Structure formats: C-alpha cells, structure tokens
C-alpha cells in the first residue's frame, strides 16, 4: 500500500513519481466500440472515486484536491472501510472477463486486482498498523499541502486548519492499536515525529503571517498548531516511555515475506528464485571485475603490491579510477552536458525513439527535498498534466570538504554517466515519456515500481552492451560495481528478512563483496531494518526484462530488432513485467 506521508529516507535514486505530463492525448489505437471496455472504463473511474474516499491524504499527494481538508483517524472503523472497499472492488472485478478487455484495460484489471487483494492482506496478515509506529505521522501530508502553490495560500491554510482538528484523535488511535512494536520502527517513529514538529511550530505559523485571514481565525489556527505539536510530542514521549518487553522482530520471516514479495513485485519469480539469481549474478560480476582489474593493474596501480585477494585487488583499481570526478561546483553542469550525448548515442545506434519535444529540465534540488543528496526525477502527478518533469540534482553546498570529496568520488566520471542513464536517458525519464503516450490513471497511481526500476537498471546494461563508453574496461568495471549494488540490495533484503543475516554479516557483504563505503553500508542496514521487499525491485525488474528480451531474441531470430523490442515494451506503460510479457508473447 502506498502512504502519502512517508518520512523514510527513500532510496536516493528511486524517487520515481508516476505521472502523466503533457497534453492529454488519447492516442490509443482506436478499437471497435466494445461494451466490455466501455463498461470497464466507467468502472475504473468509479474505482478511483472510491479510492480517494478511503485514502483522502493519498489523493492530495497525487494532486486531487477535493479532500484536502480531511485527516482520517486510523481507528478500527477506518480499517473496516478499507476492508469493505477491498471486498467491493474484488466483487466488481469478477464481473469482467479479462480476456474480453483490450490490453490496456486487461493490465489495469490485473493491477487493481492485485492492489485490492494487497489491501486486505496488509490489514489482516501483515498488520503493520500494530508494530510499525512510524506509519503514523500527520506532518508529511500537511507540509505537502502547504507546499502546493496551485492552491491559494488562504485556501491551503483553511484546509490545513480543518485537518488539524483530527490530529489529537489521530495519535490517540495510534496509541490504542500499537502493540509490541519493533524497536527499529519505534526509534524511527520517535526521530521522525520529533524531526517533523517544525511544520507546526515554524512553517505553518510563518505562512500564516503572509495570509489575509482574519485575526481571530489566525488565533484559532495558531492554537490548533500548538495542539497538534503537543499531540506529536506526547506521541513521541509515549513511544519512549511505554514498556515493550517483547518487541516484535523487524524481520518478516519467510512466509510473510513471500506474500509481500508477491503483492509488491508482481513478479513471475518467487522471492527465493530471485534471491538465487542474485547470488549467481554476484559471483559472475565479481569474476568479471577481477578479470578487468587484473588487466588494468599495470596501468593504474603498478607501483603497488598486488593483493592476493581478488576482491581487494578490485577495490584498489576502483579507488584509483574514482579519482576522476567532477568539481563540487560543476556537478550539476556535468550532468547537463551529458544528457545530449546520451540522446545522440541512442539515435546513432538506433536503440529507441526519443521524443525531442519533451525536454527534461535539470534543476537544483528544491528546498523541501533538501538533505537527500543524489539525483531523482520528479514528474507531475496525474492531475497536473502541464507540469514539467525535473531532474533534481542534490546540492553539495552544505557538505564539508571531505564529505564532498567522498561523494564526488562515489559519483565519479564513470558512475555519473551510469547514473544519468538510469535516471534520465533511456531510464526513468524516457520511460515516463513513453508511458504518457497511453495515459492510464490506474498505472499512474498503482503502476509497478518493479517495472520502472527494472527498466532503468536494464537500460544501464543495454547501453554498455550497445557500445556506450567504447567498451573501455574502466567503464565496464565501474558499471559492474554499480550493478552489484542492485544485486546486493536483493541479497541483503532476502537474507535479513528470511535468513536472519546479522548486521555484521550485512556490512561485510556490502563493504567487502560489493565495494561500498562504510557509511553507505550503514545506511543500507538502517533501510533494510525498516523496509521490506522494496530493495528487491531493481534486480527483480531487471531480471524479468532481460529474460524477456533474451526469450524474444531466441524466438524471433534474425527478425529480432532491439529498437522494436524497446518501443513495444515501453508502450504498455508502467505495468508489471509479467503482464507485459503475457501481452508481448501472445
């Protein structure tokens, strides 16, 4: 399930916001008017209306502003509404024969079906509302409303004022249902609750000064801000003080993990199968990296004694190559300069069509994202069709000299190119442009992050295989290091949640076997202890897309065209790969 108030440090390079931008072109191939499809289109519109009634805060975060004033109190009644919603939708879905629907509607049917089943399963089996106190936070949604300049300030504040009415009841409900929470989620909740207090103590009171609301309304507003801040502080205190002698383990265990993997990845592979594939890929990559490093040793490290351990030798070569990096003040322009080169390469190799009328805007990361260095793509939500798509580049301004150096070495001249392939061209940005050609509100809202991330990871390998970087061994070595990160994300997630991997073993895996810095590995450990399955989406999606391509290559022989494959694949929008595969193989 997607939550609109997410204060987790989301993967730096995974901020893939779905959305359709540009004019609302109905470019779907005209189909004979078919009663089933017409009926299903109406059903989908109704589904979204109902969805927003059950999840009004999520609606706001997607740019649907009819329910901005509502804050749902997370009590038993609210969960019954979710369960009723799920049941009603499942019943409706059963009245459609998917084989009678066109491809777009069929995949939408499959996506809705999976979503409503996962709602039911999350509440009945996963029950994170009991053990994950960090899922309760009102500040994120409210600060998002405040930042939404498409609504007049006074109206924004009026909506927020109404939302704040329920803040106390919201945290009372949270306290009522939390039982034996995990230590990790409790600590996270305390930090995030206290860390987001400033929405009520600073941001809102400051914005109030610029509004033209009556003085008496302003006074009421300020007192609700104080009430809200107090409720949050009380909640954090309560979490700190409530005895918790038998906390739940943050590890999901094989059974629950397997189910969550099924709902979240919607993959044709099981969690255990993907884990096995990741283990194999890791060995493959390390062997390739050792071969290349051996070859590059005399060029970069000839003064040094060659370590007998092959992984140490690889690390030494990587360290030498990382010295080549952009200056901290020209990091953003280094990114900007690379994008047209990627477009040219794709044209020259005829890898896929790139729509020249939809340029990507590179910008400095806006203030509300600050703190998350790195790069991300933000696309306008499905209700904001004319917005720009941005490539946000984190600023290094607040970094110390050493901090910036370490960061720049990580995103050195080689890795930066792969990052741009992943985020922009032909990765996330290009995929978005294609998915907007066949607009589906369902895919914008519930689209598959496995497909989206998988495509970006697939794109990295595809570009290098097509000769990007002139097959220089340096480029391949650094690509493998980058790719190893996706592979080890999967190994880590499965091992920690299903096989009881310890923190020490995890850090060892990431630093020794995947050549990551200590700080990066520590962050990853924190992430894996408060999320589940999400870390698998990169490698899972990549594997499915790569396997599909190879299958089609075999099947089509000489007739196989890489360009045709890419364009066809992307034309289905952000649907799970297994459904795209079904459609493509038929």
Residues that bind Zn ion (CB under 5 A): 13-14, 453, 456
Helix (H) or strand (E) holding 112: helix 103-121
Nearest to 105 by CA among 194, 25, 43: 43
Nearest approach in angstroms of CB 11 to Zn ion is 7
Torsion angle, CA of 33/35/40/46, rounded to 10 degrees? 100
Instruction: Decide whether 14 or 464 has the Cβ nearer to Zn ion.
Output: 14
Instruction: Decide whether 186 or 431 has the Cβ nearer to Zn ion.
Output: 431
Eight-class DSSP state of 242: S
Residue 393's φ and ψ, nearest 5 degrees, are -115, 125
Q: What is the CA radius of gyration of the chain?
A: 25
Nearest approach in angstroms of CB 479 to Zn ion is 15
Residues 6+ away with beta carbon under 8 Å from 390:
360, 361, 362, 363, 377, 378
Angle formed at CA 439 by CA 437 and CA 442, multiple of 5 degrees: 145
Instruction: Decide whether 98 or 403 has the Cβ nearer to Zn ion.
Output: 403
Distance CA 494, CA 134 (A): 22
Is the bond into 426 cis (omega within 30 degrees of 0)? yes
The answer to whether 213 and 154 have CB atoms below 8 angstroms apart is yes
Helix (H) or strand (E) holding 61: helix 56-61
The answer to whether 205 and 148 have CB atoms below 8 angstroms apart is no
Query: Crossing angle of helices 254-265/537-556, nearest 10°?
Result: 60
Nearest to 250 by CA among 525, 482, 42, 510: 525
The answer to whether 27 and 437 have CB atoms below 8 angstroms apart is yes
Rounded (to 5) percent helix, strand, coil in the chain: 65, 0, 30
Instruction: Decide whether 13 or 47 has the Cβ nearer to Zn ion.
Output: 13
Q: Which two tokens stand for residue 387?
A: 């917005």
Instruction: Decide whether 126 or 418 has the Cβ nearer to Zn ion.
Output: 418
Nearest approach in angstroms of CB 323 to Zn ion is 6
Instruction: Decide whether 85 or 407 has the Cβ nearer to Zn ion.
Output: 407
Instruction: Decide whether 119 or 456 has the Cβ nearer to Zn ion.
Output: 456
Instruction: Decide whether 13 or 250 has the Cβ nearer to Zn ion.
Output: 13
Distance CA 189, CA 171 (A): 12
Distance CA 115, CA 99 (A): 20
Q: How far is CA 461 from the centre of its chain?
A: 20
Instruction: Decide whether 13 or 131 has the Cβ nearer to Zn ion.
Output: 13
Instruction: Decide whether 64 or 414 has the Cβ nearer to Zn ion.
Output: 414
The answer to whether 479 and 422 have CB atoms below 8 angstroms apart is no
Nearest approach in angstroms of CB 447 to Zn ion is 13
Instruction: Decide whether 13 or 515 has the Cβ nearer to Zn ion.
Output: 13
Nearest approach in angstroms of CB 537 to Zn ion is 9
């Amino acid at each position: 399930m997607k939550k609109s108030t997410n204060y987790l440090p989301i993967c730096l390079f995974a901020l893939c916001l779905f959305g359709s931008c540009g004019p609302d072109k109905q470019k779907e191939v005209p189909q004979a008017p078919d009663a089933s499809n017409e009926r299903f289109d109406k059903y989908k519109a109704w589904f979204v209306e109902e969805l927003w009634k059950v999840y009004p805060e999520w609606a706001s975060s997607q740019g649907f502003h009819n329910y901005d004033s509502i804050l749902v109190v997370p009590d038993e009644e609210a969960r019954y509404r979710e369960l009723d919603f799920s049941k009603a939708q499942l019943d409706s879905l059963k009245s459609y024969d998917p084989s009678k629907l066109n491809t777009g509607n069929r995949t939408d049917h499959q996506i809705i079906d999976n979503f409503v089943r996962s709602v039911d399963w999350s509440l009945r089996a996963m029950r994170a509302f009991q053990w994950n106190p960090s899922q309760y936070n009102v500040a994120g949604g409210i600060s998002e409303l405040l930042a939404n300049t498409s609504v007049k300030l006074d109206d924004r504040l009026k909506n927020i004022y109404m939302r704040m009415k329920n803040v106390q009841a919201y945290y009372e409900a949270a306290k009522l249902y939390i039982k034996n929470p995990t230590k990790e989620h409790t600590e996270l909740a305390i930090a995030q609750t206290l860390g987001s207090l400033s929405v009520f103590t600073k941001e809102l009171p400051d914005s109030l000064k610029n509004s033209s609301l009556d003085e008496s309304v302003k006074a009421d507003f300020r007192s609700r801000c104080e009430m809200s801040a107090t409720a949050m502080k009380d909640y954090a205190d309560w979490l700190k003080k409530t005895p918790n002698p038998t906390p739940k383990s943050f590890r999901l265990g094989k059974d629950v993990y397997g189910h969550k993997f099924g709902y979240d990845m919607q993959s044709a592979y099981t969690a255990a199968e993907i884990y096995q594939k990741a283990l194999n890929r890791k060995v493959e990559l390390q062997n390739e990296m050792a071969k290349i490093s051996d070859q590059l040793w005399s060029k970069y490290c000839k003064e040094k004694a060659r370590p007998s351990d092959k992984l140490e030798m690889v690390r030494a070569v990587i360290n030498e190559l990382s010295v080549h990096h952009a200056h901290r003040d020209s990091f953003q322009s280094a990114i900007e300069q690379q994008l047209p080169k990627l477009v040219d390469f794709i044209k020259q190799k005829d890898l896929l069509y790139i729509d020249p009328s939809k340029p990507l805007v590179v910008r400095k990361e806006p203030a509300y994202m600050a703190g998350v260095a790195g790069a991300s793509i933000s696309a306008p939500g499905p209700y904001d069709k004319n917005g720009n798509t941005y490539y946000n580049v984190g600023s290094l301004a607040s970094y110390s000299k050493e901090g910036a150096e370490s960061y720049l070495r990580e995103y050195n001249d080689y890795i930066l190119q792969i990052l741009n392939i992943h985020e922009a061209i032909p990765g996330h940005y290009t995929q978005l442009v294609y998915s907007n050609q066949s607009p589906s509100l369902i895919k914008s809202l519930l689209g598959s992050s496995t497909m989206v991330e998988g495509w970006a990871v697939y794109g990295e390998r595809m570009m290098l295989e097509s000769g990007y970087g002139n097959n220089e061994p340096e480029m391949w070595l650094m690509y493998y290091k980058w790719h190893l990160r996706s592979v080890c994300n999967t190994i880590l997630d499965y091992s920690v949640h299903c096989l009881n991997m310890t923190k020490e073993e995890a850090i060892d895996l990431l630093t020794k076997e995947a050549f990551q810095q200590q700080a990066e590995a520590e962050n990853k450990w924190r992430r894996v202890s408060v999320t589940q399955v999400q870390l698998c989406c990169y490698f899972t999606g990549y594997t499915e897309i790569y396997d599909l391509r190879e299958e089609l290559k075999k099947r089509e022989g000489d007739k196989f065209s890489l360009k045709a494959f890419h364009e066809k694949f992307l034309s289905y929008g952000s649907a799970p790969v297994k459904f795209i595969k079904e459609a493509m193989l038929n």
